[in-house]
Amino acid sequence: MEPEKEVIYSVVVNGKPEGPYDFERLKRMNIVAGTFIRKPGMDDYKEAHEFPELRALFGFSYERTAPQYFASFDQRLLASMIDYFILFLIYTGLILLSFIFIKDQGQRIGTGLIFLPAIPVFKFIYGVFAEASEKQATAGKRFLAIKVTDMSGNRVSAATSFARNIAKVLSVAPVFLGYLYSFLNKKQQCLHDVAAGTLVIKDRLI
């Protein structure tokens, strides 16, 4: 599989982009699977093994979940905060609508507080369906361009997504140690990821 002659590539060499090079010049370069390369129209560099024509040329295998594509703890935390913020806005809107029918000030306060525990429940349900969907991510994860996959980088089933989200109790107790475990894991998995056999990856080097 060879691209047309006019296709050109920029190549990162010793940390600096070089080129552009055509396909024939690329053949003579010391390209390895992890070499970062970009073609015109691409927003970001990708590794050489992600290009079909370079896999065919150099005999690379396609690694769907290279280490640098694992989502970091701060990205995952921010995604979760975004999800909770969205749910809280929806919750607040619903409570304000209920005030149309609830006139007593005390009842309004009680209504606003009594249903607060429902937010984590809705977050759980939403997470199960969103992470098993075609997008493989909740709104917060999609905003940060990260998604949930199996260990091979493929979409997870609803059952796996349910297991992952229910297993978050392992990461929460005690004192969120299961989340901190991601700092010790090469694939940045939390305990619930390990239990469910899932990864959280990013498509681009963000």
**pLDDT value at residue 158:** 96
pLDDT at 4 over 80: no
Distance in angstroms (rounded) separating the CA atoms of residues 98 and 169 = 32
- Cα 154 from Cα 168, distance rounded (Å): 21
The 10s digit of each residue's pLDDT in 28-56 is: 888 888 888 988 888 778 888 888 888 88
Asked if the model's pLDDT at residue 205 lies above 50, the reply is no
- Nearest CA to 8 among 32, 46, 41? 41
Maximal CA-CA distance, the chain: 79
Find the helix packing angle between 73-98 and 105-114, rounded to 10°.
Answer: 150
User: What confidence score (pLDDT) does residue 206 get?
Assistant: 39
The mean per-residue pLDDT over the stretch 17-23 comes to 86
User: Can you count the helices (H) and strands (E) in the chain?
Assistant: 10, 6
pLDDT class for 67, splitting at 50, 70, 90?
low
Alpha carbon distance 123, 54 (integer Å): 42
What was the pLDDT predicted at 125?
A: 96
What is the per-residue pLDDT for 88?
95
Cβ neighbors of 183 (< 8 A, separation 6 or more) are: 73
Task: Give pTM, 2 decimals.
Answer: 0.67
Categorize the per-residue pLDDT at 185 as very low, low, confident or very high, splitting at 50, 70 and 90: confident
Among 83, 113, 119, CA closest to 98: 113
Q: What integer best gives the mean pLDDT of the chain?
A: 87
pLDDT tens-place string over residues 82-92: 999 999 999 99
Cα dist. 174→18, 138, 146, 165, 178 in Å? 49, 25, 26, 17, 8
Question: Strand 16-22's sheet: what is its strand order?
Answer: 16-22, 8-13, 36-38, 46-47
Residue 130 pLDDT grade (very low, low, confident, very high; cuts 50, 70, 90): very high
Share of the chain above pLDDT 90, in %: 44
